[in-house]
Chains A and B, each alone.
Chain A
């Protein structure tokens, strides 16, 4: 079965830029989306179709996808961005989630 790999944790200082990776075989051939989940809350979509932002998501969130790796980048990270982030790959038959990355804003 298809698998996506994310680093378990990443840390960043407020105001800095952080990238969270998501790796999978030929991931660039699939659409990737990213979700933010804060404790006790439902996930929120922050990036879809590799790089598009839903309405209401700040411009500091951006995404890319090429080869075997997709990346979520948060520029000017704020304390409110501390959360778990999950990537998800979509194609005709695959809708698998990554294992999640805990982002800590120090």
Chain B
């Protein structure tokens, strides 16, 4: 059974850097074809894809946020980390991590973690 869980701060100040960790089980990020992505959703708004890292360390970023995002993996710990710099109140959202296989969909999602950006 595949599970993913997001963790990180619930409150960050403007201009700070956000670091979120996705801890997963039930699969290995060293298996060919597997990826883990990050998606966010501001309150009452649509989903927005942020970043994706594959088993071979290939990384993809949203063009709109690429300059602010870094995604890394620690295969031994079954974790994927997303950092987002220069946080702003508009970045207030629920942040999800999700499993991908075959590079065509996010088939299993975590429960999400709410991050508020406020001074």
Residues in A lying within 8 Å of B, measured CB to CB: 1, 31, 33, 35, 37, 42-45, 48-49, 54, 86, 88, 90, 93, 95-100
Contact = CB atoms under 8 A, between A and B. Distances in A.
Interface string B33-51: 0000101000000111100
A28 to B, nearest CB: 15
> For the side of the interface on B, what is the size category?
20 to 34
A42 B46 contact: no
A44 B108 CA distance: 7
B24 interface: no
A7 to B, nearest CB: 13
A103 to B, nearest CB: 15
Contact of A42 (B52, B60, B110): B110
A95 B46 contact: no
Interface string B79-119: 00000000000000000100000011111111110000000
A49 B105 CA distance: 8
A14 B110 CA distance: 31
A97 B46 contact: yes
Interface of B: 37, 39, 46-49, 52, 60, 62-64, 96, 103-112
| From B39, B47, B49, B103, residue with most partner A Cβ within 10 Å | B47
A31 B104 contact: yes
19 contacts: A33-B105, A35-B47, A35-B106, A42-B112, A43-B47, A43-B109, A44-B109, A45-B106, A48-B104, A48-B105, A48-B107, A86-B46, A88-B105, A90-B103, A90-B104, A95-B37, A95-B60, A97-B46, A100-B47
Contacts of B108: 45
A39 to B, nearest CB: 11
Contacts of A90: 103-105
| From B105, B106, B111, residue with most partner A Cβ within 10 Å | B105
Nearest to A98: B46
The 10 A-B residue pairs with the shortest CB-CB distance, nearest first, are A48-B105, A33-B105, A42-B109, A97-B47, A95-B49, A100-B46, A31-B104, A99-B46, A45-B107, A90-B104
